[in-house]
Chain A
Amino acid sequence: MALNLPPLPLPVPNRRDLIALPLVIALFFIIAHAGREMAVPFHLGDDLSISLSPLALPEYGLYTVLRMLAALVVSFVFTLGYAWLAAHNRYAERILIPALDVLQSVPILGYLSITVTGFMALFPGSLVGVQLAVIFAVFTSQAWNMTFSLYQSLKTVPRDLHEAATLYRLNAWQRFWKVELPFAMPGLLWNTMMSMSGGWFFVVASEAITVSDQTVTVPGIGSYIAAAIAHKDLAAIGWAIAAMIVIILAYDTLLFRPIVAWADKFKFEMTASSETPRSVVLDFLRRTRLLKLLAVVPARLWELSVQLTPKVPVRRASGNARQHRRLADAVFYAALSVLALWAVVRLLQLLPRDFGWPMVWHVLGLGLITGLKVFVLVALSALVWVPIGVWIGLRPRWAEKVQPLAQFLAAFPANLLFPLFVVVIVHWHLNVDVFTAPLMILGSMWYILFSVVGAAAAIPTDMREAAQNLGLRGWLLWKRLYLPGIFPGFVTGAITASGGAWNASIVAEVVSWGDKTLVATGLGAYISQTTAKGQTAQIALGVGVMSLLVILTNRLVWHRLYDLAQRRVRLD
């Protein structure tokens, strides 16, 4: 099976090539260099000294960026495999999807100590283990969301596209790359961007953590901040914040904008939309001559894969497929119920032995306190941001500017700002329980703002005109038009905000400035403190309770509100 492809004629490079080529080559060198640096020897207890000089920041920033990139790649690969399997095998689906639902609710920073120890054991005497643990933490903050999005898209590929693919005898490989993945692309990309903005928080939080009374750090923006906190260096914190702003903007310009602009062709719509996303970087790359040749690589790989994957065989009659299926179903469910029963029994045996019921009740109580805080915080953010969001959303010119700003604020890791709050709390001797609480929502309340702005901007003009024409004003106007109009957007934003607040509680309920540490009452503080002491069983209990509470609130509150929004107040 020879590939009869014509040889490539090498074009003359143009001016853009002269700029782009050196940049691309430099990029490879930087990545290679950083890769070497990230694998330096390391033993638990070693103190990697972090320089607080602003001049060290570009290098630290680079490491943080590369970790994010690595996590993104891993998440993407994981997503493709997991979602494909769940969408194409009904048994896998019954296990993988509920599992995903649970995984989504587990606080990411909760099990960091366990993964750090695990990865360090895998790579003894090297920093690689810690690096991988950080990447893994970011991965877990992104992958579940992305996988859900892909799975849902795969399940909703239009029937006629499926039929065309079957009739023209595309094999599973071709079907996935030509039909399913492109169809899922817009949703997957959007989710990747959202997950990515959550990821910055976790990369910063996990670059310097305390495990079994030992502080484990890897060089990066997060460890820079940790060092600055330990040294009470306000100027360094300022520098770190500035560096983070630059990094996030660069990520957006150099990575996501080009991808979004490129992926516009995957939108499943047959009308040419008036507004297409543009990217200066993508346009630039598209106009290069020599560099554009790189596009041939995927094309040839694709050609090769087409020749290598087998043709679809002509299906022959299979005797009693239905009976086979029924039998397989029975075996599958029987095995599953036995397993579930065993798990429950074991849990009931283990729980009292390890902790005793009073301990379990105590942790549950802490969970409820944190839960109450999350609820109040989401409600307060709604009170503040809904009116502002609606006001902005109704003014297109404002919305255009505020929307990206809110997205940026959501991406900005709020934990960089914690020290500023702590300084104030320490200085004025404020109540720790009350005044550390806002830190939990600081990073995620922006999701409410930009969802509401988006929803308000989408309220059809004719409805607004009709309301005006009828003389609706004041509260009546809000009650009848604006609030119902933004409700679906608000719910989406609030779900993200509340999830983010739960996760953030682990770092927000225990904060420090120099030698001064503030501890609030709550489940986050409990998990954080047991992590520092290395009490694995207690960490598991704390994480378990938090996951349970998150799942319960999702089921009992958010999903219902979401369904309500979908059914009742859609504006289409």
Chain B
Amino acid sequence: MAATVEHAPTAATVQGVDIFRTEHLRKAFKTPDGAELLVLDDVNMHLGEGEILVLLGRSGSGKSTLLRMLAGLVSSSGGVALHRGQPITGPVPGLAMVFQSFALLPWLTVLQNVELGLEALKVPAAERRARAIAAIDLIGLDGFESAYPRELSGGMRQRVGFARALVINPDVLLMDEPFSALDVLTAETMRTDLLDLWTERKIPTRGILLVSHNIEEAVLMADRIIILGSNPGRIVNEMRINLPHPRNRESQDFRDLVEDIYGVMTARPVGRDASRKQVPGIGLRLPSLSVNALAGLLEELDALEKSNANTRISLPDLAEDMHFSVDDLFPLIEGVELLGFAQVEDGDIMLLPAGRIFVDGSLQERKQLFARHLTERVPLVARIRAVLDERFNHRAPDSRFLTELEDHLSEEEARRVLDTAIDWGRYAEVYAYDDNAEVFSLDNPEAEE
């Protein structure tokens, strides 16, 4: 079967040229009133031949945006992005992508989904079918050719996603958190299966770029990890993983690497970013967290502290203990740090005195403590309260603060941050909010109706 002939990109055979290379790549979005919001800044990276590169970062680090810029789906706002030495201007043949949400077409059968990319390449029907069936076999889906995606489990669906990507014999495989929508066991099986295909060279793919927020996944799969910081996304660290495959999660080397990365990812950007001093202003990105979740974390820390008789708790242990992924855990940590209830150092977290008082306090004491920390440490909340105090009727529409926030944040992000401020402020009884009228006030809710 002369399957690979018709589109093996000529550039792919050029040796010594990186598959992807970026220089000072940046991406900014325009806010409605014309201000620029920087999502990615000064990204210099490359993906070499025969390499698995993992882009590791928290949500908001722009890692998915970077992947889409390399895929030619999103345009850059500056800098250089090259694919095989050519500037990226749009999707290039030989690129395949696996999506977090699978992005399968529910009205097509497994076979038709896999054939989709070949149809676009105008591969004749008979050859198309043969190649699709071969890809389906390769990925372990034989027997499901005529099933519709909705009949399959999550793992099987993502296998269809892989088959659809691999059937076009891609030069590069781009993966956008492909395992994060799967349960733990399924995800692990899929990772090993993919690594097997890769290490045994059963697929012609010459490079894999994986976007992930899962530290262990990164250490398990990567030849090299690039860690992206948040707001704006920029490369904060890069490390080579030299452990031989198959890697053992329980080995000391593996665990040390995971600890190191936790440390890098939770390090406060102050030291590293001294050049660009960040004053936590009104545009501070409050994590979307309920007060209950914050309180839950503090209580858990207190419990762990007591049972371990150690005030320092390692973040990997905490994640394991609470069955949290990085994306669940990091916003929480950010939240308790922001409010001055706990502190992170070198990948360890410890309760601060205020956090201990909060854990031991009654409902009213908690509220009062929370209110004090909130007005002292969150400029947005302080600003809302100040405006309300100033006004003679003690009322202000939320649009007033929203426009102010939009100077610093995207429209969507501004709304999200304001919603968090509303939630926290309501809990702490710093102010009241009427959702129907979209107005902040100092009203006592009991006084109404």
Residues of A within 8 A of B (CB): 3-6, 158, 160-161, 163-164, 166-171, 174, 178-179, 182, 185, 265-272, 303, 306-307, 311-312, 314-318, 568
Contact = CB atoms under 8 A, between A and B. Distances in A.
A311 B120 CA distance: 7
A210 B84 CA distance: 73
Identify the 10 closest CB pairs spanning chains A and B, nearest first.
A315-B90, A168-B117, A160-B103, A164-B103, A182-B107, A169-B120, A170-B120, A317-B89, A266-B107, A315-B89
B150 A272 contact: yes
A312 B91 CA distance: 10
Contacts of B409: none
A164 B122 contact: no
Contacts of B101: 158, 160
B103 A316 contact: no
A265 B121 contact: no
B120 A269 contact: no
Contacts of B68: 163
B71 interface: yes
Nearest to A160: B103
A295 to B, nearest CB: 14
B71 A167 contact: yes
20 contacts: A3-B125, A5-B125, A158-B101, A160-B99, A163-B71, A169-B91, A169-B117, A169-B121, A182-B107, A266-B107, A269-B150, A270-B106, A270-B149, A311-B121, A312-B120, A314-B89, A314-B92, A314-B93, A318-B89, A568-B436
Contacts of A272: 150-151
Contacts of B315: none
A314 B11 CA distance: 14
B93 A166 contact: no
A182 B105 contact: yes
Given A179-B105, A269-B106, 9 more contacts: A163-B73, A164-B97, A164-B99, A167-B96, A168-B96, A169-B91, A182-B105, A270-B157, A307-B122
Contact of B91 (A158, A166, A171, A316): A166
Contacts of B125: 3-5, 303
B116 interface: yes
A169 B93 contact: yes
- The listed residue with most B CB atoms (<10 A of its CB), out of A185, A268, A306, is A306
Interface in B151-196: 151, 157, 164, 168
Contacts of B73: 163, 166-167
Contacts of B436: 568
Contacts of A5: 125-126
Contacts of A303: 125
A167 B117 CA distance: 9
A303 B128 CA distance: 12
Contacts of B116: 168, 170, 178
A200 to B, nearest CB: 30
Contacts of B117: 168-169
A268 B97 contact: no
- The listed residue with most A CB atoms (<10 A of its CB), out of B68, B97, B100, B168, is B97
A169 B71 CA distance: 12
B106 A167 contact: no
A171 to B, nearest CB: 7
A249 B92 CA distance: 53
Interface string B328-349: 0000000000000000000000
Interface of B: 68, 71-73, 87, 89-93, 95-97, 99-101, 103, 105-108, 116-117, 119-122, 124-126, 148-151, 157, 164, 168, 436
Nearest to A266: B107
Nearest to B127: A4
A306 B112 CA distance: 14
A184 to B, nearest CB: 11
Contacts of B157: 270
Contacts of A171: 120
Contacts of A311: 120-122
Contacts of A160: 99-101, 103
A4 B103 CA distance: 30
A270 B150 contact: yes
Given A4-B124, A167-B91, A568-B436, A174 B107 contact: no
Nearest to A163: B73
B120 A168 contact: yes
A302 to B, nearest CB: 9
Contacts of B119: 170, 174, 178, 306
Contacts of B93: 169, 314
A327 to B, nearest CB: 19
- The listed residue with most A CB atoms (<10 A of its CB), out of B91, B95, B108, B436, is B91
A286 to B, nearest CB: 14
A178 B436 CA distance: 42
Contacts of A269: 106, 150
B144 to A, nearest CB: 14
Contacts of A174: 119-120
A271 B150 contact: yes
A351 B244 CA distance: 86
Contacts of B99: 160, 163-164
Nearest to A308: B122
Given A169-B120, A317-B87, A568-B436, A268 B168 contact: no
Contacts of A168: 96, 116-117, 120, 164, 168
A184 B106 CA distance: 12
Contacts of B151: 272
A525 B73 CA distance: 57
B72 to A, nearest CB: 8
Contact of A265 (B91, B106, B124): B106
A316 B285 CA distance: 38
Contacts of A167: 71-73, 91, 95-97
A166 B261 CA distance: 35
A303 B125 CA distance: 8
A408 to B, nearest CB: 29
B270 to A, nearest CB: 35
Nearest to A171: B120
A161 B150 contact: no
A267 B151 CA distance: 13
- The listed residue with most B CB atoms (<10 A of its CB), out of A3, A174, A178, A311, is A178
B85 to A, nearest CB: 14
A7 to B, nearest CB: 13
- The listed residue with most A CB atoms (<10 A of its CB), out of B92, B100, B120, B121, is B120
A311 B105 CA distance: 21
A170 B106 CA distance: 17
Contacts of A318: 89
A57 B105 CA distance: 46
Contacts of A163: 68, 71, 73, 97, 99, 103
A163 B92 CA distance: 13
Contacts of A182: 105, 107
A185 B164 CA distance: 24
A316 B89 contact: yes
A170 B60 CA distance: 30
A568 B117 CA distance: 43
Contacts of A266: 106-107
A568 B438 CA distance: 12
Contacts of B90: 314-315
A266 B126 CA distance: 26
Nearest to A309: B122
A411 B174 CA distance: 52
Nearest to B75: A321
Contacts of B89: 314-318
Nearest to A2: B124
- The listed residue with most A CB atoms (<10 A of its CB), out of B90, B99, B117, is B90
